[in-house]
Amino acid sequence: MTLAVRYTAARTLDTAAVDAPAPGPGEVELAPAYVGICGTDLHIFHGDMDARVAAPAVLGHEMSGRVVRVGPGVEGWQPGDAVTVMPLRWDGTCPACRAGHQHICQNLDFIGIDSPGAMQQRWRVPASTLIRLPGSLALDRAALVEPTAVAVHDVGRAQVREGEKVVVVGGGPVGVLIALVAQAAGAEVRVVELSTHRRLLAEELGLTVWDPAADDVPELVRRWTGGAGAEVAFEVSGAAGGVDTAVEVLGVRGRLCLVAIHPRPREVNLHRFFWRELTLVGARLYDRSDFEKAVALVADGTIPAERLISKVVPLTEAPAAFGALEGGGDVMKILVECATDTTGA
């Protein structure tokens, strides 16, 4: 048995003992060290994904940890190896997979949503999902590799190029990571964020941040770009106003990358798309190359992961941590520590 955090009903989590069977063929057993709570976890917590998530469900997919046991047929891994997990299991047969887009398989098992996640003391996953971590990378920081991989994928989907002007609407964890990854790619970046706490943190990380409640963001963009508008905007806020801002700041043939999960349809200024020949691209999840680049960015300090971690709580306090995250503004990233023994972390 292993202790796990489970979603049982809307706004209800518990910690309970669950089975921990030995890894089967092609599987490994991990000891998760740290698991981040993300926006998708909050959507589950609110009951917004009950049609997809079968309660009781063990949550968590942003993680770092160590291999404990390997199942039959697993090669290249041994107990003690430091790893993170790319939490995707695809069928390999659907049209998306056959077209080479396995990460958005039409029958995708997103581990931690569609099947048990990492917020437990022992966790079985396919060995094919493992991503090796360098021994020099602290495991608490490594828990931010998964959201960094999201940002790497987003910046790639938007085809951000050196010298381009980029506006990131929404300065939460993923928004800040997108801004840092885009900046590392040579772009000039501005972040739009309502929360004072998040604005200050982003500024401490060297980003320029605007407050949409006090600043005329489209006018600031016009001045910044000499009237041309931004080449790229990322919508990461999940709010209707964020969509409007992201569309309005774009220049001719600008690219809007939609990152946030919008729970309901939004009105979009399609005339602006027509008039300026804008492009809208969706960005969902990541592939292995995104993960490997994310590991490098966190390991070399390009992503200052330690500055983004607001708090670390033990597994038994994870349910309360979800409540703390609902306020959003004064918290960036909360990690759940899954084991008392974090030697080497």
Which of the residues are catalytic?
A: 40, 43
CA neighbor of 147 nearest in space, from 175, 166, 167, 122: 175
Q: Check residue 23 and report its DSSP letter.
A: P
Distances (CA, A) of 176 to 27, 157, 196, 327: 34, 17, 14, 18
With b for 16 or more beta-carbon neighbours within 10 A and e for fewer, the 229-255 pattern comes to bbbbbbbbbbbeebbbbbbbbbbeebb
Contact 253, 273 (CB under 8 A): no
Q: How far apart are CA 232 and CA 211, in angstroms?
A: 19
Query: Parallel, antiparallel, or unpaired for β 109-110 and 82-85?
Result: unpaired
Cis peptide before 218 (omega within 30 of 0): no
Residue type for 120, please?
Q
Q: Where are the strands (E) in the chain, listed by range? A: 2-9, 12-18, 27-36, 57-58, 62-70, 82-85, 88-89, 109-110, 123-126, 130-132, 165-169, 188-192, 208-210, 230-235, 250-258, 279-282, 309-314, 333-337
Distances (CA, A) of 286 to 3, 128, 141, 187: 29, 15, 19, 21
Q: How far apart are CA 153 and CA 294, in angstroms?
A: 9
